[in-house]
């Protein structure tokens, strides 16, 4: 079985990657010692810029290995694409607006508030995920996945993370928080990007020398 390192400490993302890898001959693992490494500032204007920066930086700590990094977020049309690359820190950027226990709860509370006057037919949005694959400080390939949906007024479901309870996926009439990790992976932006990576790695001549067991 091939092992693939993901440079993230986000348990929700790791769970998603585990779901996306199910049924393939790969094992996904958090990059060892990630929490003790210096944090990488996500100051890029695009998901791709941030994903490349994280993958290139962290791959230097695992010489010879392919290291994946995911930068992702939610784009809401009625908010001109916000929160976008600011998705993780949406509430932190407006601390006077929301007071909730967890970062995810606070982000969701701000999103509900920003959309409070937007009617159901105009609440479209999408999750975007860009995965960068890097080795020894150099990006080898970039993959993008999207999932189109609508933002609910009230959260639904207890699975997933982040904005999942507010993200309604019309095709199955459920939010992403109402899905198992494997179900979410089959519809999600992260699953779509990761499947492109799997196709690339299985066709790539770098595969055997870079991914060990």
DSSP type of residue 81? T
Annotate each residue in 140-159 with x if it binds ligand IMP (CB under 6 A) or - if it does not, as one string: --------------------
Q: What part of residues 35-64 is at the interface with ligand IMP (CB under 6 A)?
A: 42
* Contact assessment for residue 65 and residue 211, using Cβ atoms and an 8 Å cutoff: yes
Q: Quick check: is 70 catalytic? A: no
Residue 105, classified by CB atoms within 10 Å of its CB into exposed (0-12), middle (13-18) or buried (19+), is middle
Q: What part of residues 10-29 is at the interface with ligand IMP (CB under 6 A)?
A: 16
- Candidate residues 163, 168, 169, 194; the one interacting with ligand IMP per rule CB under 6 A: 163
Please name the residue that has the structure tokens 């009617």. Answer: 119
Please name the residue that has the structure tokens 């904005």. Answer: 163
**Closest CB to ligand IMP among residues 98, 211:** 98
- Phi, psi of 33, deg, nearest 5: 65, 15
Q: Which residues pair with 70 in a beta bridge?
A: 131
Please report the DSSP string for 112-143 in residue order: HHHTTT--GGG-EEEEEEEEEEEETTEEEEEE
In the complex, least distance from residue 203 CB atom to ligand IMP, rounded to whole angstroms:
26
In the complex, least distance from residue 42 CB atom to ligand IMP, rounded to whole angstroms:
5
Q: Does 105 bind ligand IMP (CB under 6 A)?
A: no
**Closest CB to ligand IMP among residues 56, 164:** 164
In the complex, least distance from residue 87 CB atom to ligand IMP, rounded to whole angstroms:
3
Strands 174-175 and 2-6: unpaired
Strands 167-169 and 174-175: antiparallel
Scanning 69-77, 114-122, 134-142, 197-205 for contacts with ligand IMP by CB under 6 A, the matching segment is 69-77
- Integer Cα distance of 75 and 148 in angstroms: 10
- Integer Cα distance of 76 and 67 in angstroms: 30
Q: Does 164 bind ligand IMP (CB under 6 A)?
A: yes
Annotate each residue in 124-143 with x if it binds ligand IMP (CB under 6 A) or - if it does not, as one string: ---x----------------
* Contact assessment for residue 181 and residue 18, using Cβ atoms and an 8 Å cutoff: yes
In the complex, least distance from residue 58 CB atom to ligand IMP, rounded to whole angstroms:
13
Q: Which tokens sit at 161?
A: 């993370």
**Closest CB to ligand IMP among residues 125, 162:** 162
Q: Residues with catalytic annotation?
A: 71
Q: Which residues lie near ligand IMP (CB under 6 A)?
A: 16, 42, 70-74, 87-88, 107, 127, 160-164, 176, 188, 190
């Amino acid at each position: 079985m091939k092992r693939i390192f993901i440079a993230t400490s986000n348990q929700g993302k790791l769970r998603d990657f585990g779901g996306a890898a199910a049924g393939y001959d790969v094992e996904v693992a958090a990059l060892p010692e990630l929490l003790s490494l210096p944090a990488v500032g996500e100051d890029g204007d695009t998901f791709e810029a941030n994903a490349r920066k994280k993958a290139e930086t962290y791959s230097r700590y695992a010489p010879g290995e392919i290291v994946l990094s995911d930068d992702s977020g939610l784009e809401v049309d009625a908010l001109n694409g916000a929160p976008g690359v600011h998705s993780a820190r949406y509430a932190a950027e407006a601390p006077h607006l929301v007071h909730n226990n967890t970062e995810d709860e606070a982000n969701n509370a701000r999103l509900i508030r920003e959309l409070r006057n937007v009617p159901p037919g105009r609440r479209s949005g999408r999750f975007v995920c860009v995965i960068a694959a890097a080795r020894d400080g150099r990006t080898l390939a970039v993959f993008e996945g999207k999932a189109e949906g609508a933002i609910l007024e009230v959260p639904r479901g207890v699975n997933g993370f982040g904005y999942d309870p507010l993200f309604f996926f019309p095709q199955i009439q459920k939010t992403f928080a109402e899905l198992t990790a494997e179900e979410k992976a089959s519809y999600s932006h992260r699953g779509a990007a990761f499947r492109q990576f799997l196709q690339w790695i299985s066709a790539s001549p770098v595969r055997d020398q870079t991914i060990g067991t």
